[in-house]
Structure 1
Amino acid sequence: MAMVPYRQGYSVLPVSNSLFDIFDDMMDLPRTALTAKAFPIDVVDEGDSYEIKAYLTGVSKDDLDVELNEGRLSISVEVKEKEEDKGKNYLQREFTSYSATRGVYLKDAASEGLSATFADGVLTVHVPKFVEKKNVTKIAID
């Protein structure tokens, strides 16, 4: 088994002896926009509201943006490399600056009464449901 030299990108792949070597090499490719980070979310229907949880380990509250626009809830995160990390002589570095957005459409989401909390790497958003007021008028039949 030969060692695969480090590569800076997708452009150069070494000549492999087998198909398995090619798949092993693909696992070593660096992250790019094609393999952008995503984060898991859970959406729970609680009857009169929705509870959305986004699992964002290693993210601070300042890196988050949450919006509700015409029923579409968007959770965005943008993490940037810290200034004190630049210029260090890393032997291995897996952290990269990244941004990711997840969204969910909530057809009956109200735009009032929204709340969000962030603790222990979990963002919890509560979205009340829109209560449609029905104006029912009884019509007498002659």
Structure 2
Amino acid sequence: MLNLMPFSHREDNLFNYLDNLEKNFFGDMDQNLSQFRTDILDDGDHYTMKADLPGFAKEDIHIDLNDNTLTIHAEHNEENETKQDNYVRRERRYGSFSRSFDVTNINTSDIDASYTNGVLELKLPKLEVTVPEPRKIEVK
């Protein structure tokens, strides 16, 4: 009965404590570093994909299509240097994100992309489904 409760099962041991301490301090590294958030809307004859990529220039975003896989890759590399008197301060910021999507039922020749205010928007037109006409087969 207790396993059906919507609460996490607590195990008091050193390994779980250290693992939870790391997750609480750094966050979930797999979710935060390698992916970006996307929304996909069904708009009837096409899908609209919205990907949050704040802080990237349009030139930093690359969209590749290989077979039935659409890959969005964004890479940001920035260096600033400020000199005041004898003090030098350098700041570097680097980030790279990549995500792939299956576009099997998409008309890939008509995909449109735009980037405004940190949001990449792709219009993914659906393939027209052709239904074969029913026919009768005569038995001989």
TM over 0.5: yes
Indicate conservation of the 8 Å contact 1:79/1:98, yes or no.
yes
Distance change in 2, residues 1:46/1:71 (3 Å): farther
In structure 2, the residue matched to 1:48 is 45
Q: How many residues are aligned here? A: 116
What amino acid does structure 2 have at the position aligned with 1:69? N
Q: TM (normalized to structure 2)?
A: 0.64
In structure 2, the residue matched to 1:104 is 101
Residue 134 of structure 1 and its aligned partner are, at CA, apart by: 4.0
Alignment of 1:112-127 (within 5 A): 112-127=109-124
In structure 2, the residue matched to 1:61 is 58
Cα deviation 1:101-140 (Å, max 9, x = unaligned): 0122233011221101111110000011111334536346
Rounded to whole Å, the distance in 2 between the matches of 1:39 and 1:46 is 22
What amino acid does structure 1 have at the position aligned with 2:55? G
Residue 23 of structure 1 and its aligned partner are, at CA, apart by: 2.4
Alignment of 1:16-35 (within 5 A): 23=21, 27=25
Consecutive unaligned residues in structure 1, runs of 5 or more: 1-18
Is 1:133 the counterpart of 2:130 in the alignment? Answer: yes
1:112 partner SS: helix
Q: TM (normalized to structure 1)?
A: 0.63
Rounded to whole Å, the distance in 2 between the matches of 1:54 and 1:26 is 26
Distance change in 2, residues 1:46/1:78 (3 Å): same
Residue 63 of structure 1 and its aligned partner are, at CA, apart by: 0.3
Consecutive unaligned residues in structure 2, runs of 5 or more: 1-16, 83-87
Is 1:39 the counterpart of 2:52 in the alignment? Answer: no
Indicate conservation of the 8 Å contact 1:117/1:125, yes or no.
yes
Is 1:89 the counterpart of 2:86 in the alignment? Answer: no
Residue 43 of structure 1 and its aligned partner are, at CA, apart by: 1.1
Overall identity of the aligned pairs, in %: 22
Cα deviation 1:55-106 (Å, max 9, x = unaligned): 1111110000112333322111011123xx147515xx6x631211012223
